[in-house]
Each structure stands twice: as C-alpha cells, then as structure tokens.
A and B are shown apart, each in its own frame.
Chain A
C-alpha cells in the first residue's frame, strides 16, 4: 500500500480513536467528516480503513467499538446497511445522519465533491483533515499548501528523510512547495489538485535511509546535482533558464541548439529529454508556466526508477549546456570597446557618457545580415537611430508594441565597424510617442548629458540592453532602466 495512503489512514484512525475515547459513553454520537485527498487516493484510504470493518477503538472501559467508514461518491447507486462501512452518495449520508441506530460514522469526502453536505451533514457533525475552504475549488494553492493537514503531511515526509541540517530541511520543503505550485499551474487550478497529491505520494515513497537530493528532485521534477546535495535555488533557476530558452527558441530548435556543442552523451540525453517533453507538452509557454511539472519523468503516485536522460542531465550539465557564453552559430557579435571596468562573466560593461559598440557579422558571413535595433516606445534616442537609418535602414515599423528598425550589413559592406551611441535629445521631427500599454508609466526624458551607460549583451540569446544611470544611481541602483535592445533577426549559418 502507498505510504501516503497509510499515513492518511493512520491520521484518520488516531483522530477517530481520540474522539471516541473522549465521548461520555459508547452510545454517544460521533458523526464526523474527513476532508481529504482526491477520490483516487481516498478510495485507497477507505480500503485500508475498512480492513477491520471500520476504525476499531478500545474504549477506556475495555469495550471495543467499530466506527464505520462511509466513502462519499455521488455515483454510488447502492449504500451499506446502517452501522456498516461502505460507499454511498450524499443523500444516503443524510439518511445515516438521521438514523438513531447509526450514532457514529466517519465520512470520507474528496475535494470539491461535497454537494448538499455543506449545510446538512456538517451542521450536525464535526470535520477534520483539510479545512473545507482550503479543499474547495476556489481556494488558491497557497491556501491548500498552508493548510494544517497538508503541512502535517509534509512535515511527516520530511521527518522520514535522512536530513540532519535544518537548512537542507528548509530547501527540501521549498522544493516540494515549488513543485506543488507548478502542478497546480499545469492543471489550471483544478479542484482535485491531483498533481499536488501525487507529488506528496511520491515523496512518501522515498526510503528513509536514501540520500535525499536525487530522489526528492526526481519526485518533485527538478534535475539532481552531481554531488547529491540539495541546491534548491540553483535547481529551480536552471529550470527557469531552460524554460525561457525553450520559450525563446521553441522546444525542438531550442534543444537542437543546446546539442550543437554538446558531447555525445549529452546529445543522447537531450534527445531522450526531447521525446519526453514532446510527449507531454507541445507548447513552450506551457512548459515555462510549470517547468518542474513537465520536467518530471515520474508522473504517477509511485517513484519509478529514473530514466537515463534524467540521471545524466544534472544541474551542472544543464548549467554548462545553457552557458550564456556559448554563442550560437550565426549570431551577431556585439562588444563594448570603451568600458571603464573590464567585462567579467555575467556582468555588465560600464561606460562614461557614451558607448562605443562594435557590431560585427558572424564569422565566414558572405551574405548580408538582417538585424534589428529595437527601441522601447518610452525611450527617445531617435537621433542615433536616424543616423543608423541614414546609413543602411531598410524598413521602419512604427507604432507596433515595440518600434523596430531593420538594416542590413555585411562584413564587406562599407559600414563603420564601430557605432557610437551618444546621449542626445530627440529631433522635433521624430513621431510622437505611440500610446501603447507597454509604454512605461515613467516615460523617460533623454539621459542626462553626464550619465553613465551600462551594456549587457547575451550572445546566446542574441539580445542586449543598454541602461543609463547617473553617478548617484550608479551607487544606489545600477540596474535601472533599459535603453534599447539589439536583436539579430536571422541566424545565418
């Protein structure tokens, strides 16, 4: 039997026993409702509980009482005899409530499945398990996660793990929480929250003496780590990076791109991962919404042995595969040549007053390259853009969500190798600001003449930003406002 089911059954038994023992006599009434997991699990809990005909309680006076268990199911056509356990519909639960010969029972009710119970059974009984509000269709996943019963189950699982450090325990809890949220997103907040319960079920399948990280990551849908230690933040972030990479490039092409400089073992694993992903999720946006849900090779109640690709694609492998410096073939090369501090990995180039950019075509590029300079509509750097246009502009698409200008150049064309972007005010002939929701509320004036500029270019994503800030802001908040983006339109191999 599934350990989660046993745990829930134990909770029901203990609570029922405590309640029965606290009653004034064996004839006293105890009508109680347990709000629990979806019917898939609740049926198993029911089967476990009715092994002895119901919950058997030894009362203080030595008498034993069997409290019948009634599993609520609206599709049930038959119902058990009074005083016996069985499956019955809501209307029969109401009947049992009204029977003097049935002073005690425990009704098991699945989430969002308690029609006509709310005001009838519950007004004449007490309830336990999840709070009925946390187990309803309108509750958020936060409500569900913060429910005392769910927290007790999570704590129960964590107690089983071989975790000595408190920080690791906290990381494990966060991993479960992230995973549960992703499952809820993927299932569009469905009332049964079956995905979230399956995660709990899988983490209960982790043997207590096993190393936690690999199995917990497998249960929750994260890549494991090489050293087998939890690194929740990194594991989460790498999945987000993978999701955004696939969103930018598409699932097939995104993974193909990762294979370009990968080793044969990586390629094999990526191919298997591609098959896995295509089988369950064909839209990159969906994957990005709930990455851990779709990444997980285990989707059922049990923790199956992991596939090869999952074991190979560890956190470290993904970090290497998604390394930003792996410039894709055919990407524009954009470098800042007048930086104040030497550029460092993952950092920004900082310049004073104006930025000198060296934009060059890919190696061995004979054909013209199409590139686009995108100016968010709230920015006014028009003179610079117009000077671009004067040189090589082909088209101007104004009043779209972003204004973009396309031009082409090649290594052989007489384009200056270095373009300067000074801080200038816009000429009056520039079209007025388009009214668009993407316009930022804090529409910017041109940068002050003595401002600093910061360039960040990600060759992997063909995407760069330049931000400006004054000397004060440099100290206070260097990550202020993006000035424009440079994006290569076509990747020309």
Chain B
C-alpha cells in the first residue's frame, strides 16, 4: 500500500493507522439496515457467532421450504400441526414487508426469540451483508469504563436475549418449537467480546459521547425485562439500539470532521491543542446532531458528507507524513491525536510544499469521488440509508400494518410520499427513554432531565416547548408525566415500569 494506491482508490486504501488503530474510524461500515435487522444481527453477534450474515438468507429459504414439507415436520417431533406452524411463521411472527419488498417471497420475522435470527434479519437478501451486530458490540466496548464492565454487560445482554424460565409462555413456546427444527448445528452460546475499548480509560472517563449513555441505558433496558412481555421488551431494546447506533455513527462522523478541521488549523497556524483540549474540543459530543420536530435526513447527509471529506483529508496527511519518513502508528487516544497535530504543525512547510492541499482537493473533487462525497453513491449513500432506515418508522406495503413500528425516532411529516422525515419519537422510544432517564434517579425528575438525556444522544429538544409540542402530547398520552401547573419546575416524569412491578406483586 502506498500514497499512489490511496490516490487511485481513497475509499479502499486507508492508511494502516487509520484503518486499524484509530478510535474514530467507523467500523463496520454501516449500510442499509432496519431496526429489526439490527436486533437480529445482535442476536447472531451475541449467541450465534458461527453463523455468518451472508448465510442467513439461504438458511431462511431452506427453513421456509422445510416448514412446508410434511415429512420434515413430522420428524421434528412437534405436537402442533403443520398448518398451525405455517400460520405462526407467515402470519403471527411475520414482520411486514416494506413497499419495495411487496412482490418478494422470503421469510421476514419479528426477532422475538434467538432462533428467528438464524433464518431472517440480514441486511441483504443476497451477497455479503454488513454486520450491524458488530457495530453494537463495538459500541459496548466504547461506552464501558473498562473491558471487565463491557464483558459483564455483554454477558447480561446474552442472558437477556436468551430464553429462560422468566420469559413469557409465548416466547418459551416459540423457543421450544424453533429448537425442534433448528438446522445447521447452530448453538446459542455466548460469543467472545473483542477488547475494543476505543479510547484509553483515563481519557474516556472525562468525555461525553453517545456510546457512554447507550451502555448505561442498555443496562436499564435489560433490567426492565421482567416487567413486561417478551414482545414488549424486544421492542424496547430495539428502540434503544436504534437511537444508540445512529447517534454513535453520527458522533464518529463528527469526530472525523473535527479532527480534519484541527489538522487544517495546524497546517496554517500554530494551533496545537493539548490532549485535554483535543478531548474537550474535538471528541466530546457538545452540540446536537438533530433537532426535535425538524427534518433529519439533510443533516444526516451533511454529517456523512463531512465524514468522507475528513476521511480523505486525514488519510492524505497520514500517507504524506509516511512519505516524508514520519510514521504514525496509531491514533487511539487524545494524546496520540494531539501528537499528530503537533507533527503536522512541525512539518507544515514540507506538507504544504509537497502539495498536500492540492492532493486533497483533487481527491475530494475528482469525478470518481465527488458523487460519493455528495452521498449519491458508495459509503456516504450507505450511511444515509442506514440512519434513515434505522431511525425512520417502518413503511409497510400493507396499509393496515402501518402502525406496526412504534419504536421509531423519525416519522414522515405528512402522508404524501416525498414528505420529509422529521424527528418525532414513537411511543415505545419514549417509554424506553423515560425509563432509562429515571433508572438511576433517586428522586423525581422533571422533563429537563429528559431533554438532557436526549441531548446525550445528540438530539435537541427545547424544554420550554415540550409541554405544548408533540413530545409533551405523547408523554401525556402514555401517562409518563405529572402536570403540575403550580410547580415552578413544570412537568415531572413518571417511571413507566415501576407501576407494573407494583401491580404484579399485588
């Protein structure tokens, strides 16, 4: 690999330090996925490690075929008749097809129990799919204080995703029936969690970024499992994964851009931030990515575009430094990032003399890359697809099932097909959010805390407008707030699942 190879194909030939030893490189590269695909893929990443994403569609086709073969049905030892099982697969468990899938015949099921993930829920129906489960895996590593904590959470997640005696009868029955028909020797067994902590522990503790909040909230969602049915819990988990995964990707896009801006500043002025300043100014998530009630996709496209520009720029600098004999081995901490900026400053004249800026412009604006940077194709387009489909409410081919997805973060502003996607959370997302927000609170919490919680994921809500806006209306509808006109602090949040606990014990 060399500078020339990078110039030839900047998306494939990243600098080794950027590719393998950088905490802000987006790995795995997100592509199209739906929320259910993320959950299914997480099942596989957590407990069916041996099953590759690309093998899922074929396994699904085989499974669907087997479910219609009387001999195989009898051999399984099940006590239900074949027609009933067929209705379970194609009716009860079926996840609605999207408008562009209406004519396709394939098994698409709600990921209610782990075995469902063996046969459905891959990002693509053919070819190599990317692995959203690995993205969640990495997020857990990033957000945890240390590897031990990450492993503990991974273990808890594995146990919660699995089916045990505490799960409801419907889940246990499904688990049993799927178990009788399990193919290809798959075994539900916890997979190894790679030690990918992102940043060093001492730096991580003083930074704020979405994965840290996500890890706390994931633990909260796991804790809520006993208070609801399996279906409700999976929806809750799905809502949390949606918000967390997209916020994480947008944060990484932003960090890339901030790093590139810092490099540009170092190229033109003596501006070398210390490791602490790098953490506070470049890495910590201080602003917001999306605004409640406003269109989201153009902003997501903007972030993706900036990421691509930054990725080319950072790699060009790393390759050029290598040509000049300065080897950057890793960028895994704020300290190392600060070191890179210092080196860029020291070598400023040589870098500029070597035509670095012209090279970057050439790469960013070449015919091959301009459309990619404009998110019309390639990585940028995939990033936008990922965020839009994971956050957006599922569009269904069957109009009757349009309310299937209630854990969305984005919804269409109006009925017409080209209506913009605006930030407006669905009831399940709001339940998940309020639960997580109140989980570690000793006393009452007002909606201010809810706004701060959303801000940790980069979504801005105007607190003073919650009472009259869409969020306030939904909070009231779900019984999640106490309106207190006399209280100076306004609305108080009501824990959604503690009441359930009391009812059950009573």
Contacts and interface: CB of A to CB of B under 8 A. Distances in A.
Q: Do A and B bind each other?
A: yes
Interface stretch (A6-14, A69-77, A194-202, A430-438): A430-438
A441 B102 contact: yes
B100 A119 contact: no
Nearest to B377: A401
Given A116-B488, A119-B490, A285-B305, A443 B367 contact: no
A270 to B, nearest CB: 15
A432 B126 contact: yes
A139 B299 contact: no
Interface in A94-126: 112, 114-120, 123
Given A285-B301, A437-B32, A139 B100 contact: no
A441 B99 contact: yes
B395 to A, nearest CB: 9
Interface string B276-312: 0000000000001001111100110110011001000
B100 A441 contact: yes
A112 B299 CA distance: 21
B46 interface: no
A438 B385 CA distance: 9
Chain A binding site: helix, strand, loop or mixed by DSSP? loop
B103 interface: yes
Contact of B125 (A116, A117, A435, A441): A435
Nearest to A431: B126
A137 B370 contact: no
A402 B127 contact: no
B366 interface: yes
A125 to B, nearest CB: 15
B469 interface: yes
A54 B370 CA distance: 57
A136 B305 contact: no
Contacts of B381: 401
A185 B364 CA distance: 23
B341 interface: no
B195 interface: no
Interface string A269-286: 000000000000011111
A189 interface: yes
A288 interface: yes
Contacts of B464: 112, 114-115, 117-118, 132, 136-137
A282 B365 CA distance: 11
Contact of B374 (A112, A248, A252, A437): A248
A191 interface: yes
B373 A284 contact: yes
Contacts of B466: 138
B294 A250 contact: no
A399 B127 contact: yes
A435 B294 contact: no
B463 A115 contact: yes
A273 B21 CA distance: 40
A133 B466 CA distance: 10
B365 A252 contact: yes
A15 interface: no
Q: Which of B125, B370, B461, B467 has the most CB atoms of chain A within a 10 A radius of its CB?
A: B370
B474 interface: no
A118 B490 contact: yes
Interface residues on B, range: 35 or more
Interface in A414-444: 431-441, 443
A247 B370 contact: yes
Interface in A448-493: 462, 489-491
Given A401-B382, A402-B377, A252 B465 contact: no
A434 B122 CA distance: 13
Given A286-B305, A435-B124, A138 B461 contact: yes
A140 B293 contact: yes
Nearest to B386: A437
B8 interface: no
Given A115-B464, A188-B291, A253 B469 contact: no
A462 B367 CA distance: 10
A122 to B, nearest CB: 10
A239 interface: no
A172 interface: no
A384 to B, nearest CB: 22
Contacts of B216: none
B172 interface: no
Interface residues of A, number: 55
Nearest to B451: A137
B414 to A, nearest CB: 12
Contacts of B127: 398-399, 434
Nearest to B469: A138
B389 interface: yes
B365 A250 contact: yes
A185 B366 CA distance: 27
Contact of B367 (A185, A286, A491): A491
B189 interface: no
A249 interface: yes
A426 B298 CA distance: 37
Interface in A182-218: 185, 188-189, 191
A254 interface: yes
Contacts of B377: 401-402
A93 to B, nearest CB: 13
B502 interface: no
B370 A112 contact: no
Contacts of B397: 441
B104 interface: yes
A298 interface: no
A485 to B, nearest CB: 11
A291 interface: no
Interface string B95-108: 00011111110000
A248 B471 CA distance: 38
Nearest to A434: B126
B462 A285 contact: no
B435 interface: no
B181 interface: no
B365 A399 contact: no
Contacts of B192: none
Contacts of A435: 101, 104, 124-126
Contacts of B298: 185, 289
Contacts of A250: 361, 364-366, 369-370, 373
A87 interface: no
A436 B370 contact: no
A283 B305 contact: yes
A180 interface: no
A432 B389 CA distance: 23
- Which of A254, A282, A489 has the largest count of B CB atoms less than 10 A from its CB? A282
Interface string B457-477: 000111111111111000000
A251 interface: yes
Contact of B291 (A137, A251, A284, A399): A137
A400 to B, nearest CB: 8
A249 B370 contact: yes
B183 interface: no
Interface string A133-148: 1001111100000000
B430 to A, nearest CB: 15
Q: In the A-B complex, list the 7 residue pairs whose CB atoms are closest, starting with the nearest.
A: A250-B365, A137-B462, A136-B465, A435-B125, A285-B305, A441-B99, A253-B365
Interface of B: 32, 98-104, 124-128, 288, 291-295, 298-299, 301-302, 305-306, 309, 361, 364-371, 373-378, 381-382, 385, 389, 397, 422, 460-471, 485, 487-488, 490
30 contacts: A119-B488, A123-B485, A137-B291, A137-B460, A137-B461, A138-B291, A140-B293, A188-B288, A189-B291, A189-B295, A248-B371, A250-B361, A250-B364, A250-B373, A253-B361, A253-B365, A254-B370, A284-B370, A284-B373, A285-B373, A286-B306, A289-B301, A401-B378, A401-B382, A432-B126, A434-B127, A436-B32, A438-B385, A440-B100, A441-B100
Given A191-B462, A441-B397, 6 more contacts: A133-B469, A136-B464, A138-B461, A250-B365, A435-B126, A491-B367
